Amino acid sequence: ATATEVKKPVVIGYYLLEKDQINSYADGKTEFPVSAITPEKARMLTHINYSFLNISEEGQCALEEGTDPQMARKVFDELQGLKKHNADLRILFSIGGWSYTNDDSATVGRYRTAAASSNARQKLAQSCIAFMRDYGFDGIDIDWEYPRAEDSANFVALLKEIRRQLKQEKRDGKPAWQLTIAAAGGAFNMARTYQYLPQIAAQLDYINLMTYDLNGPWEQQTNHNAHLYGNTGEHLFENPLRALPFKPALSKKVLEQRFPSPFALTVDAAVQQYLRAGVPAAKLVLGLPFYGRAFFQVAPDKQGLYQTHATPAGDVYVGDPGLLTGCDACTARKDPRIATYADIKKLLASPLGYKSYFGADTKVPWIYNADKKIFISYDNEESFAYKVTYLKKYGLAGAMFWHLGQDDEQGSLLRSLYMHLNPETSLQGGVQYISK
């Protein structure tokens, strides 16, 4: 490669296939089988992260209990098969995810324990690398949401152990093994490990920022899922990073400069906080949501923005699954609070009164249905254009997104993301057929 050749931006797509979908994979009824990742899509991706593995009771990398290993192998072989369309494509598996690792999860203890001693770390790392080799993966992504402050040093030690063992694994002729994590996209979750970020980053190829879920039914007012910039009308927060026990202590002046407070919880705020922590921009990957979040009983002022709402906030949804009028898929999934980009496009095309707006300052779209008093915050090709311009401005490695199965049939979001990241390709009219 010529010295001047700029590294291709990464496009990291999470591929979710839950246990029951794996077990019934051969029945042809899978919602989003690997075959839905068309050759064209495979050529627009640099990484696919299979979600999720868990840590077993024995402290090892494993399929979720009750997963049929033969069917899992079929799925993984199909994922590896995508490389025939794109020789540079890397397929990693992701361990964890919200359900297995949030503070109230039944299995979060396994993560804390696995990181808490050198024996446990060595055993987990060894099992993950064996799993990776056995199924032909190209690396490991850890999606622990989130290590607590008291877990942070152990978390660094775990990453070091995995990296140490990966270095021992010969990988002649194929792309080097990679180790990545999914990391907090908001200052509150970021605060837990903030002071360890340089040490965490040193072990990693990429840090996938979950710069979404910035607002949801847990907030008093409606606001955006993943707005790039703030708005003077939105709720501001005291900056939790300012209160961290920095050693040596930072002067009041430095604290005020580094951690503006109060501040708006935005994508830009998160990226700047990672950069100020000393994380190399070239390891940062900007997370994009392929889903939107719906709020109910929302007043019409400001087209539903920054209004009170009545949306059940619990992890398991209780209430009418049909609240998001017109979203049959949401009703089938029994949760009207999360709509895929595909669902949202259908709602906007329907005669049900969903109107879309775009924030001149926040650079994200939203929907308000005055008749049904429904507010939906989401992302689209327009907000992605602004986010790609932003990530290029700060020299980030590229984009990640949650998740592949939420795009529309044609894969419009992925294509717009790819084209904005690779404008030279789009000049040649469509995805370059990378034949290798």
Ligand X SMILES: C#CCO[C@@H]1[C@@H](C)[C@H](OC(=O)NCCNC(=N)NC(=O)NC)[C@@H](C)C(=O)O[C@H](CC)[C@@](C)(O)[C@@H]2OC(C)(C)O[C@H]([C@@H]2C)[C@H](C)C[C@@]1(C)O
Contact 405/51 with Cβ under 8 angstroms?
no
Among the residue ranges 14-22, 82-90, 364-372, 427-435, the one whose residues contact ligand X (CB under 6 A): 14-22
335 binds ligand X (CB under 6 A): yes
Contact 131/52 with Cβ under 8 angstroms?
no
- Smallest gap from Cβ 97 to ligand X, in A, equals 3
% helix / strand / coil in the chain, to the nearest 5?
40, 20, 45
Buried b (16+ CB within 10 A) or exposed e, 120-153: bbebbbebbbebbeebebbbbbbbbbbbeeebbb
Closer to ligand X by CB, 85 or 227: give it.
227
DSSP labels for 178-213?
Answer: EEEEEEESSHHHHTTTGGGHHHHHHT-SEEEEE---
The correct pick among 140, 200, 210, 294 for binding ligand X (CB under 6 A) is 210
316 binds ligand X (CB under 6 A): yes
Cis peptide before 248 (omega within 30 of 0): yes
- Smallest gap from Cβ 248 to ligand X, in A, equals 34
Span 66-105, contacts to ligand X by CB under 6 A: 97-99
Buried b (16+ CB within 10 A) or exposed e, 418-428: bbbbbeebbee
- Smallest gap from Cβ 297 to ligand X, in A, equals 18
Closer to ligand X by CB, 255 or 413: give it.
413
Residues contacting residue 47 through CB under 8 Å, at least 6 positions apart: 10, 11, 12, 13, 89, 90, 91, 92, 178, 180
- Smallest gap from Cβ 427 to ligand X, in A, equals 32
* Residues acting as catalytic residues: 145
343 binds ligand X (CB under 6 A): no
The correct pick among 10, 11, 12, 16 for binding ligand X (CB under 6 A) is 16
Span 244-263, contacts to ligand X by CB under 6 A: none
Closer to ligand X by CB, 259 or 317: give it.
317
Of 144, 136, 133, 143, give the one whose Cα is nearest residue 168.
133
Among the residue ranges 155-163, 207-215, 373-381, 390-398, the one whose residues contact ligand X (CB under 6 A): 207-215
106 binds ligand X (CB under 6 A): no
The residue type found at 230 is G
Closer to ligand X by CB, 336 or 419: give it.
336
Among the residue ranges 112-120, 232-240, 264-272, 309-317, the one whose residues contact ligand X (CB under 6 A): 309-317
The site map against ligand X for 366-405 (x = CB under 6 A) is ------------------------------------x---
317 binds ligand X (CB under 6 A): yes
- Smallest gap from Cβ 225 to ligand X, in A, equals 9
Closer to ligand X by CB, 82 or 210: give it.
210
Strands 139-143 and 61-62: unpaired
Sign of CA pseudo-dihedral 425, 427, 431, 434? negative
The correct pick among 143, 234, 343, 379 for binding ligand X (CB under 6 A) is 143
d(CA 397, CA 267): 16
Burial group, residue 199, by CB count within 10 angstroms (0-12, 13-18, 19+): middle
Closer to ligand X by CB, 96 or 242: give it.
96
The residue written with tokens 């049929």 in the block is 68
Contact 366/374 with Cβ under 8 angstroms?
no
Angle at 379 between CA 308 and CA 53, to 5 degrees: 100
Nearest residue to ligand X by CB is 97
Conformational region of residue 429, where left means phi above 0, alpha means psi within -120 to 50, and beta covers everything else? left
Closer to ligand X by CB, 49 or 255: give it.
49
The correct pick among 14, 137, 206, 354 for binding ligand X (CB under 6 A) is 14
- Smallest gap from Cβ 315 to ligand X, in A, equals 5
Closer to ligand X by CB, 14 or 384: give it.
14
Whole-angstrom CA distances from 56 to 19, 123, 249, 306, 415 are: 15, 12, 40, 42, 37
151 binds ligand X (CB under 6 A): no
Total of chain residues touching ligand X, rule CB under 6 A: 19
- Smallest gap from Cβ 257 to ligand X, in A, equals 31
- Smallest gap from Cβ 94 to ligand X, in A, equals 7
Burial group, residue 331, by CB count within 10 angstroms (0-12, 13-18, 19+): middle
Span 160-199, contacts to ligand X by CB under 6 A: 182
Of 333, 331, 332, 324, give the one whose Cα is nearest residue 298.
324
213 binds ligand X (CB under 6 A): yes
Q: State the residues that interact with ligand X by CB under 6 A.
A: 14, 16, 18, 97-99, 143, 145, 182, 210, 212-213, 315-317, 333, 335, 338, 402
